[in-house]
Amino acid sequence: MERRGFIKKGLQWAASLLGASFLAYPAFSFMTFRKATKKRIVFHPEDQAGAVTFKEGVYLIREPNEIFALSAQCTHLGCTLNYDAVSGRFACPCHGSVFTLSGKRISGPARKDLYRVPLTKTASGDIEAVLEVG
Ligand code: FES
């Protein structure tokens, strides 16, 4: 084989290998195990004044006897829920699922209630919500 032919073949192999890796990357990245990560959302005392406060994908709900947090992600396909202060319910703008203030499913294509997000209170009065992402 001539030197020019050898170099040409080598470049073709390199280009083929590069193209194959671009095509294979989405398949391999889909098959690999995804590690769930945790995201901390801090509600400072000034954030806790309202009955329902939204921050970074979490609703903090203050009721007379309890403070709890719900994920704002719809359990159908994951759209972010809107809170309707008039009805006191959460409504999904995507396909219309509706949930009570406590997170119970009322109607719509969603089959599960909203997820409760664990809370911890710090010495400084902050409330930390730990949301699982991914
Ligand atoms: S994503 Fe909320 S109802 Fe479909």
Ligand 1 binding pocket includes 121 (Cβ within 6 Å): no
Q: Can you tell me the mean pLDDT for 112-131?
A: 94
pTM: 0.74
pLDDT tens digits, residue range 41-87? 999 988 878 899 999 999 999 998 999 999 999 999 999 999 999 99
Q: Which atom of ligand 1 is nearest to the CA of 108?
A: 3
Smallest CA separation from ligand 1 atom 1, residue:
77
Work out the pLDDT band at 133, boundaries 50, 70, 90: confident
Ligand 1 binding pocket includes 75 (Cβ within 6 Å): no
Work out the pLDDT band at 18, boundaries 50, 70, 90: confident
Work out the pLDDT band at 31, boundaries 50, 70, 90: low
Task: Tell me whether residue 129 is exposed, middle or buried, using C-beta atoms within 10 angstroms of its C-beta: 0 to 12, 13 to 18, 19 or more.
Answer: buried
Give the bridge partners for 70, in sequence order: 59, 116
